[in-house]
């Protein structure tokens, strides 16, 4: 039976991930993680438009950003094949020639990055691959993103939503304050369980694995109570 669209996407992501592990540049760290999130958001948009497809006039933009995201975590030797596979399954209305022409600069820059070339930008040298600010990406793709889709998006969002999320995280961290006894409010029950287990003679390493808390933290929580 032919693969479903979701299965095809999963296969492509797995193949790209395997290739990234073999890349000269390690596919880890903030910039790589960010482009994985961008790529995931692009597929969320595609999923929303699956029935009717991406509207004409936005297909080239979508393909460009899909290809560019791939360039950040896919081996440059496999990049063209990955782009072609994505285009065939996600934006089939574009011909193979159109795909090559439109994404050629991305492939070229990925090769340059693999060779260790740098691009002069302002007063510094940077990776030659295309990079875009969050707001720039959002404005480019905004016509394809309904309001109902934004809650599930992580990287392609407007700056004001990103700010709201930061403030919500800060409020949550503030609410999860310390009790004054060396433990956060959210960890009080875990600490009590650790103390109970330690009083029963269980080793710290066992408690750590059971509760999913670091060994050093278990020692700190129980060092006075276990005496």
**Has residue 155 got a pLDDT over 90?**
yes
State whether 36 and 110 are in the same domain.
Answer: yes
Specify the pLDDT at position 101: 95
Of the two residues 49 and 174, the one the predictor is more confident about is 49
First CA to last CA distance, the chain = 65
Distance between CA 135 and CA 158 in Å, rounded? Answer: 5
- Beta-bridge partners for 125: 120
Longest CA pairwise span in the chain (Å): 75
Here the CATH number for the domain that contains residue 182 is 1.10.10
Of the two residues 65 and 183, the one the predictor is more confident about is 65
Specify the pLDDT at position 21: 47
Domain residues for the domain of 185 are 178-222
**Has residue 181 got a pLDDT over 60?**
no
Specify the pLDDT at position 180: 55
Overall pTM > 0.85:
no
Which of 130, 158, 186 is the C-terminal boundary of a domain? 158
State whether 149 and 43 are in the same domain.
Answer: yes
State whether 142 and 201 are in the same domain.
Answer: no
- Residues 207-225 have a mean pLDDT of 84
Distance between CA 9 and CA 20 in Å, rounded? Answer: 16
**Has residue 151 got a pLDDT over 50?**
yes
- pLDDT classification of 53: cutoffs 50, 70, 90: confident
Instruction: State the average pLDDT for the chain.
Output: 85
Residue-wise pLDDT for 5-28, tens only, equals 555 555 555 555 544 444 434 444
- Residues 171-180 have a mean pLDDT of 61
Distance between CA 207 and CA 190 in Å, rounded? Answer: 10
**Has residue 177 got a pLDDT over 90?**
no
Would residue 99 count as lying in a domain?
yes
**Phi (first) and psi of residue 120, to 5 degrees:** -75, 125
Orientation angle between helical segments 59-71 and 76-90, nearest 10 degrees:
150
- Number of domains, the chain: 2
Among residues 125, 82, 80, which one has the least CA distance to residue 104?
A: 80
- Planar angle of CA 89, 94, 99, nearest 5 degrees: 90
Would residue 120 count as lying in a domain?
yes
Of the two residues 3 and 135, the one the predictor is more confident about is 135
């Amino acid at each position: 039976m032919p693969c479903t669209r979701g299965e095809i996407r999963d296969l492509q992501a797995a193949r790209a991930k395997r290739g990234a592990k073999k890349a000269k540049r390690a596919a880890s760290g903030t910039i790589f993680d960010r482009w994985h999130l961008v790529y995931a958001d692009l597929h969320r948009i595609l999923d929303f438009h699956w029935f009717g497809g991406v509207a004409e006039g936005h297909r080239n933009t979508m393909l460009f950003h899909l290809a560019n995201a791939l360039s950040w975590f896919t081996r440059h030797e496999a990049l063209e094949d990955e782009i072609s596979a994505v285009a065939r399954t996600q934006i089939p209305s574009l011909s193979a020639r159109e795909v090559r022409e439109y994404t050629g600069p991305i492939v070229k820059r990925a090769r340059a990055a693999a060779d260790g070339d740098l691009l002069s930008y302002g007063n510094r040298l940077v990776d030659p691959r295309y990079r875009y600010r969050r707001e720039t990406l959002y404005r480019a793709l905004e016509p394809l993103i309904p309001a109902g889709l934004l809650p599930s998006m992580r990287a392609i969002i407007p700056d004001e939503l990103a700010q709201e999320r930061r403030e919500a995280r800060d409020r949550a961290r503030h609410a999860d304050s310390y009790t004054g006894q060396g433990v956060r409010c959210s960890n009080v029950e875990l600490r009590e369980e650790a103390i109970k287990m330690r009083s029963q003679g269980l080793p710290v390493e066992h408690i750590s694995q059971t509760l999913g808390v670091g060994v050093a933290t278990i020692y700190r929580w129980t060092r006075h109570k276990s005496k």
